[in-house]
C-alpha cells in the first residue's frame, strides 16, 4: 500500500464521528454540502428537509462572514513595518514614505483578489464551516480549490497545529495522462458514479521535520505522479485547514449547526407534522347515500357547471376541520425558528446601498460578540496565511516588488480594533481636530508638520500620491523663489519711497545712476 493511501486509511477512522455529524447537519440545512460518499457524483436524489429555516440561517451567516473577512471595495488588511526593525533598518523620517509605498502594494493585492474567483470559493468554504465545522482550501496557480470534509483527513499536534493532510478525489485518467487498467477493475470502492476511467488521486501533505517546510506529492495506483512533488515555506502554505469551533485535543472542528442540532431536529419534525396534518385536515370527501338516485360515477366525472341527474340531499361533504388543534405545534415551531434565526444573525440584517468600512466594522463587531472568537480564529487560520500566500505569488510573478525579508508583515486588523488604513485615517483626523480644538490653531501649526500629516492622510486613504504631493526638493525650490520675490518686492518698495525726493534728482545727485543700476541688477532674474 502506498504511503498516501495508507495514511488516509489510518486517519479516516478518527474522522468518522465528525463526518457522521456533518452529514446530519447538512441534511437539516443544505443537503448537497456534505454526503456520506467520498466521491459522490450526484447520481442519487437528495432528501430535502421539511423546513427552509436551516438553509436560510446558513446562507445568511456565511454572507456576513464573507463581508467581514473579504469585504468588497474595502481594505481589510495593511502592510506594516515591524517596530523592532524600524530603528535598525530605517531612519524614522522615512516611515511615512514606506506607508505610502505599502498603501500602493495593498491596492495591487486588492485588485488581484477582486479580479480572481477567490470570493466564490471562500463563500462555499464558509458554508461548509458553518455546517460541518471544517473546510480545506488549496491555493493553486489556477486559483482556490475547496475540499469538503468527506474528501480529506487531517492530523494535528498537541497544540492544534496541522502536521499532516491527505486528500482523496476521483480524477479521470485521461486528464491525468495515464491509461486505464486492463481488464477493467471494479468501480473504485464502489463509489457512486465511479468508472474504470476514474482514478483515486491521493495528495499527501506534511510538515518536514528537518526543514520545517511544507512538502507534498500525489499518488495514483500506489505510484507517485510525475512532477507532483512540491514545497512551500511554513508561513506561506497553499493548504489552509479551517475550523469553525475548536475543542482541545480534536483534529477536526465543530460547526455552528451542531450547536443547534436539537432545535433543527425539533423544527424539522414539527414542520413535517404540520405539513402532513394540514394536508389531512384540508381533505374534502363527498358522501353519496347508498339509496340515492344520484350516481357517484356521474358526480365524480361532472365538470364545473355540468348538468346531471340527481337529488341534492343524496350528497354530503365531509371535512376533518382540525386546524385549531395545530396551534400548539405551530407556536412551538415559531419559537424554535426565532431562536435559530437569532443564533445565526438573521434577525438583525442591516440594509445598506453600498458596503462601507463602517458597515464592515459593525458586522465584525456583531460576529465577534455573537460567535465568540470565531473571527479571530478565521483571521489566524485563513486570512493571514491567505494574504501571505497571495503576497508570495505576486512577488514571484513580479507583479509587486519583493519586500525586505523580516521587515514587512501583513497586519490583519480584527473587527473589535479597526479596519485597515481606514481606521488610521479616522484616528489621525480625530487627533488633528482635537489638537486644534484644545490647544488652538497656533499650537497645531507649531507642533504638527503639515507635510508629514498630508503623507500619512494619503497613505491612510490609499491615495496614489505620484505627481500629487510635492517633494522636499520642490518645496525647497518654492521657498527660495518666495524669498527671492520678497527681496525683490522690498527693493521695489524702497525705490518707491525715494521717488520724488531730492536725492532722486540726477542733477542734484550724481550717484543716482550708479545706485539705480545696482537696484536694477538685484531686480534682474538670475541667468540660466
If asked whether residues 133 and 66 sit together in one domain, one would say: yes
pLDDT at 362: 72
pLDDT at 106: 80
pLDDT at 472: 65
pLDDT at 82: 64
Task: Report the C-alpha gap between 528 and 80 in whole angstroms.
Answer: 45
Answer whether residue 151 shows pLDDT above 70: yes
Top pLDDT among 395 and 373 is at 395
If asked whether residues 496 and 367 sit together in one domain, one would say: no
- Report the length, in residues, of the chain: 528
In a domain, 141, yes or no: yes
If asked whether residues 26 and 100 sit together in one domain, one would say: yes
> Could you tell me the three cell numbers for 497?
519711497
Answer whether residue 481 shows pLDDT above 70: yes
Contact predicate 417/407, CB 8 Å: no
In a domain, 112, yes or no: yes
pLDDT at 335: 95
Answer whether residue 496 shows pLDDT above 70: no
Task: Report the C-alpha gap between 505 and 509 in whole angstroms.
Answer: 6
Top pLDDT among 35 and 527 is at 35
Answer whether residue 280 shows pLDDT above 80: no
Mean pLDDT over 443-457 rounds to 71
Answer whether residue 184 shows pLDDT above 80: no
Taking the CA of residue 405 as centre, how many other CA atoms within 13 Å lie in the half-sphere pointing to its CB?
Answer: 1
pLDDT in tens, 344-369: 988 765 555 455 666 676 777 777 77
Phi-psi region of 421 (alpha: psi -120 to 50; beta: other; left: phi over 0): alpha
The per-residue DSSP string of 40-52 comes to --S-SPPPPPS-S
The per-residue DSSP string of 103-126 comes to HHHHHHHHHHHHHSSHHHHHHHHH
If asked whether residues 460 and 513 sit together in one domain, one would say: no
Task: Report the C-alpha gap between 438 and 281 in whole angstroms.
Answer: 74
> Could you tell me the three cell numbers for 128?
461548509
Contact predicate 217/228, CB 8 Å: yes
Taking the CA of residue 303 as centre, how many other CA atoms within 13 Å lie in the half-sphere pointing to its CB?
Answer: 1
If asked whether residues 463 and 483 sit together in one domain, one would say: no
If asked whether residues 477 and 442 sit together in one domain, one would say: no
pLDDT at 181: 55
Percentage, residues of the chain above pLDDT 70:
71
Predicted confidence band at 251 (pLDDT cuts at 50, 70, 90)? Answer: very high
Task: Report the C-alpha gap between 510 and 86 in whole angstroms.
Answer: 67
Answer whether residue 190 shows pLDDT above 50: no
Average pLDDT, the chain: 79
pLDDT in tens, 99-112: 777 777 888 888 88
Top pLDDT among 496 and 431 is at 431
Mean pLDDT over 6-15 rounds to 95
In a domain, 19, yes or no: yes
Q: What is the DSSP letter of 249?
A: T
| Last residue within a domain, chosen from 310, 343, 376 | 376
In a domain, 122, yes or no: yes
Contact predicate 167/147, CB 8 Å: yes
Top pLDDT among 126 and 464 is at 126
Answer whether residue 129 shows pLDDT above 70: yes
**Sequence-ordered alpha helix ranges (H) in 371-413:** 374-378, 384-396
Q: How many domains does the chain have?
A: 4
pLDDT in tens, 382-433: 888 898 888 888 888 888 877 766 666 666 554 444 444 555 666 777 777 7
Answer whether residue 113 shows pLDDT above 60: yes
Answer whether residue 460 shows pLDDT above 70: no
257 vs 119, 131, 192, 364, CA distance in Å? 22, 5, 27, 20
pLDDT at 396: 85
If asked whether residues 507 and 454 sit together in one domain, one would say: no
Contact predicate 166/153, CB 8 Å: yes
pLDDT in tens, 281-318: 777 788 888 888 888 888 888 888 888 888 888 888 87
Answer whether residue 510 shows pLDDT above 80: no
Predicted confidence band at 98 (pLDDT cuts at 50, 70, 90)? Answer: confident
If asked whether residues 490 and 451 sit together in one domain, one would say: no
In a domain, 429, yes or no: yes
Torsional sign, CA 294, 296, 297, 302: positive
| Maximum distance among all Cα pairs of the chain, rounded to whole angstroms | 152
Give the range of the structural domain holding residue 438, as residue numbers without chain letter: 422-469
Answer whether residue 173 shows pLDDT above 90: no
If asked whether residues 31 and 74 sit together in one domain, one would say: yes
Report which of 80, 85, 118 is spatially closest to residue 98, judged by C-alpha positions: 80
In a domain, 383, yes or no: no
If asked whether residues 50 and 130 sit together in one domain, one would say: yes
Contact predicate 163/153, CB 8 Å: no
Report which of 60, 54, 16 is spatially closest to residue 32, judged by C-alpha positions: 54
Mean pLDDT over 120-138 rounds to 96
Q: Is 129 exposed, middle or buried (0-12, 13-18, 19+ CB in 10 A)?
A: buried
Cis peptide before 183 (omega within 30 of 0): yes
Answer whether residue 381 shows pLDDT above 90: no
In a domain, 119, yes or no: yes
Contacting residues for 353 by C-beta, under 8 A, at least 6 apart: none
Answer whether residue 231 shows pLDDT above 60: yes
Percentage, residues of the chain above pLDDT 90:
30
In a domain, 498, yes or no: yes
Answer whether residue 187 shows pLDDT above 50: no
Report which of 25, 261, 3, 207 is spatially closest to residue 128, judged by C-alpha positions: 25
pLDDT at 268: 95
If asked whether residues 242 and 307 sit together in one domain, one would say: no
If asked whether residues 519 and 372 sit together in one domain, one would say: no
Strands (DSSP E) contained in 289-355 are 315-319
Task: Report the C-alpha gap between 280 and 45 in whole angstroms.
Answer: 26
Mean pLDDT over 252-269 rounds to 95
Mean pLDDT over 123-152 rounds to 94
pLDDT in tens, 17-57: 999 999 999 999 999 999 876 544 555 567 889 999 999 99
Amino acid at each position: 500500500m502506498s504511503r498516501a493511501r495508507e495514511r488516509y486509511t489510518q486517519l479516516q477512522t478518527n474522522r468518522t464521528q465528525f463526518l457522521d455529524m456533518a452529514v446530519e447537519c447538512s441534511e437539516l440545512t443544505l443537503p448537497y454540502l456534505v454526503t456520506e460518499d467520498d466521491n459522490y457524483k450526484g447520481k442519487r436524489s437528495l432528501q430535502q428537509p421539511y423546513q427552509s429555516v436551516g438553509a436560510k440561517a446558513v446562507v445568511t451567516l456565511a454572507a456576513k462572514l464573507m463581508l467581514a473577512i473579504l469585504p468588497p471595495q474595502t481594505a481589510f488588511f495593511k502592510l506594516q513595518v515591524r517596530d523592532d526593525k524600524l530603528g535598525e533598518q530605517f531612519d524614522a523620517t522615512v516611515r511615512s514614505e514606506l506607508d505610502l509605498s505599502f498603501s500602493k502594494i495593498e491596492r495591487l493585492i486588492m485588485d488581484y483578489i477582486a479580479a480572481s474567483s477567490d470570493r466564490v470559493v471562500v463563500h462555499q468554504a464558509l458554508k461548509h464551516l458553518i455546517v460541518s465545522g471544517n473546510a480545506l482550501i488549496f491555493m493553486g496557480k489556477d486559483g482556490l480549490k475547496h475540499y469538503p470534509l468527506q474528501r480529506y483527513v487531517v492530523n494535528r499536534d498537541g497544540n492544534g497545529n496541522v502536521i499532516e493532510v491527505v486528500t482523496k478525489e476521483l480524477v479521470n485518467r485521461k486528464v491525468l495522462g495515464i491509461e486505464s487498467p486492463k481488464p477493467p477493475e471494479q468501480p473504485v470502492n464502489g463509489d457512486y458514479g465511479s468508472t474504470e476511467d476514474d482514478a483515486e488521486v491521493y495528495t499527501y501533505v506534511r510538515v518536514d521535520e528537518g526543514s520545517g517546510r511544507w512538502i507534498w506529492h500525489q499518488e495514483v495506483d500506489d505510484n507517485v505522479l510525475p512532477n507532483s512533488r512540491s514545497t512551500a515555506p511554513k508561513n506561506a502554505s497553499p493548504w489552509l485547514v479551517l475550523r469553525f469551533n475548536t475543542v482541545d485535543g480534536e483534529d477536526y472542528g465543530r460547526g455552528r449547526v451542531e450547536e443547534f442540532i436539537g432545535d433543527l431536529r425539533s423544527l424539522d419534525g414539527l414542520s413535517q407534522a404540520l405539513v402532513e396534518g394540514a394536508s389531512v385536515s384540508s381533505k374534502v370527501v363527498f358522501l353519496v347515500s347508498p339509496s340515492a338516485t344520484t350516481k357517484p360515477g356521474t358526480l365524480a366525472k361532472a365538470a364545473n357547471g355540468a348538468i346531471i341527474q340527481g337529488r341534492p340531499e343524496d350528497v354530503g361533504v365531509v371535512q376533518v376541520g382540525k386546524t385549531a388543534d395545530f396551534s400548539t405545534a405551530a407556536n412551538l415551531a415559531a419559537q424554535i425558528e426565532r431562536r435559530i434565526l437569532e443564533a445565526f444573525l438573521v434577525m438583525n440584517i442591516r440594509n445598506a446601498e453600498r458596503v462601507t468600512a463602517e458597515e464592515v466594522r459593525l458586522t465584525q463587531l456583531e460576529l465577534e460578540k455573537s460567535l465568540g472568537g470565531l473571527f479571530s480564529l478565521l483571521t489566524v487560520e485563513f486570512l493571514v496565511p491567505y494574504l501571505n500566500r497571495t503576497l508570495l505569488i505576486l512577488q514571484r510573478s513580479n507583479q509587486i516588488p519583493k519586500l525586505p525579508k523580516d521587515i514587512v508583515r501583513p497586519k490583519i486588523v480584527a473587527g473589535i480594533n479597526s479596519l485597515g488604513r481606514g481606521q488610521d485615517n479616522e484616528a489621525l483626523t480625530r487627533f488633528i481636530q482635537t489638537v486644534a480644538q484644545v490647544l488652538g490653531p497656533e499650537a497645531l501649526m507649531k507642533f504638527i508638520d503639515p507635510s508629514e500629516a498630508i503623507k500619512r492622510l494619503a497613505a491612510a486613504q490609499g491615495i496614489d500620491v505620484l505627481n500629487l504631493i510635492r517633494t522636499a526638493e520642490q518645496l525647497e525650490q518654492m521657498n527660495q523663489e518666495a524669498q527671492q520675490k520678497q527681496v525683490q518686492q522690498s527693493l521695489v518698495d524702497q525705490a518707491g519711497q525715494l521717488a520724488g525726493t531730492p536725492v532722486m534728482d540726477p542733477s542734484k545727485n550724481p550717484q543716482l545712476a550708479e545706485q539705480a543700476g545696482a537696484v536694477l541688477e538685484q531686480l534682474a532674474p538670475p541667468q540660466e
